[in-house]
Amino acid sequence: MSDASWESLASRVLERTIELCRIPAPPLDEQDRADRVLAWWAEDGLAGVEQDDVGNVWAELRPGSGPALVIAAHLDTVFARDVVHRTERIGGRLVGPGVGDDTVAVAALSALHAVLPERLPVPVRLVATVGEEGLGNLRGVTAALGRADRPVGALIALEGNYLGRVNTIGVGSHRIEVSLTGPGGHAWEDAHHPSVVHVGGRIIADLDAMARPAGRTSVNVGTVAGGESINARARALRLQLDLRAESQDDLDRLVATATELIRENCERQGVTCALDVIGSRPAGSIEPDHPLVAAAVAGLEAAGESARLTAASTDANAAYARGIPAVTLGITTGELTHTEAEWIDVEPIGRGLRALTETIVTYTHLEE
């Protein structure tokens, strides 16, 4: 295809991105957006368009027998329904909540039918997944990879603003809700009673300062809620903790250290605590010399983009957990992810589509 043809296709992807951005899709509530994708793919004449029991939307991009190459992008965003869902074109950027993560990638799935050869050596399927964000716990892609009637040979996960990246490491995460309970009491009369807000503050400070494994990790207390009154010793506090690491061993050590730290603080301060696991993503990876990685790097180079191997937490994590080869690729560039000012660059979309197409064609021929 000529550069002009890629740009024409990119314009169509942009139109669908704008349309889809208007439809809220918070985790566990993706049906409205799924309905739009179902309608698009039916209009496009794709075969096998359906929605599974979990909520994923499927289509058969190219037929064949044996394990398929699956191209996935997630329907859900981090934004609640009460957020204003709209986009604005500012110079060369499209700005709006969820535009890069992952709306433009879902819109890009529709474009592949027009550019891939009619026959490929292995079957290729599309899936728009649910439950990638927040506490969705990868429920959509996990179900998709577990279907006995649709064996998966490899997975390409799409993240809209990752162009130039080939994610070969799936960052693992472990999420804990910590509930603290104390005796409460009057701020003055019962000043000798522990306040769980104070205890929670110490826990957060200690988590930030605790010893960590040598590999890259992160510790984040994302939400804190509790206390009853300005003049009362707080008797209840809840905080949500997100722990991440590039390897499963490092993640396991990080979780063990954090859990022990929390329990010791509570015991020392005389309050009770309950720790509930509210989310977990296994860490995993693909070897840098795997044919899928080589195809992805070659695809980017063919589109005029340099490639760098990176790490992130995406739908690919679920594939690594099952021993399925996977990479995560992008469609364009952008920043301010997970904010209402999130933006993507419009101009690179055509190159992102070409890189993805080249990757699919190259890899499927390597596997024949």
Burial of 248 (0-12, 13-18, 19+ CB in 10 A): middle
Same domain, 93 and 149: yes
Phi-psi category of residue 202: left, alpha or beta, with phi > 0 → left and psi -120 to 50 → alpha? alpha
Q: What is the CATH number of the domain that holds 308?
A: 3.40.630.10
Return the axis-axis angle of helices 349-366 and 291-302, rounded to nearest 10°.
140
| Nearest CA among 38, 39, 128, 145 for reference residue 77 | 128
- Which tens digits make up the pLDDT trace of 279-335? 999 999 999 999 999 999 999 999 999 999 999 999 999 999 999 999 999 999 999
Same domain, 193 and 234: yes
Q: Global pTM?
A: 0.92
Same domain, 103 and 114: yes
Task: Write out the two tokens for 150.
Answer: 């649709």
The counts of H helices and E strands in the chain are: 10, 17
Q: What are phi and psi of 77, to 5 degrees?
A: -125, 175
Residue ending a domain, among 265, 281, 297, is 281
Q: For residues 134 and 253, which has the higher predicted lDDT (pLDDT)?
A: 253
Same domain, 91 and 200: no
Residue ending a domain, among 226, 253, 281, is 281
Question: With bands split at pLDDT 50, 70 and 90, how would you rate the model's confidence at 243?
Answer: very high
Residue ending a domain, among 281, 298, 327, is 281
* % of the chain residues with pLDDT over 70: 100
Tell the residue number behind the tokens 């509530």, with chain if given: 29
Q: Write the CB contacts of 43 (distance below 8 Å, at least 6 apart in sequence).
A: none
Helices (H), the chain: 3-21, 31-43, 104-109, 112-115, 139-145, 196-209, 248-269, 291-302, 316-321, 349-366
- Distances in Å between the alpha carbon of 348 and those of 30, 101, 131, 355? 28, 16, 27, 11
pLDDT at 134: 86
Same domain, 137 and 34: yes
Residue 32's domain comprises 3-170+283-366
Same domain, 138 and 64: yes
In the chain, how many domains are there?
2
CA gap 181, 191 in Å, rounded: 16
Same domain, 151 and 289: yes
Q: What is the CATH number of the domain that holds 210?
A: 3.30.70.360
Same domain, 180 and 55: no
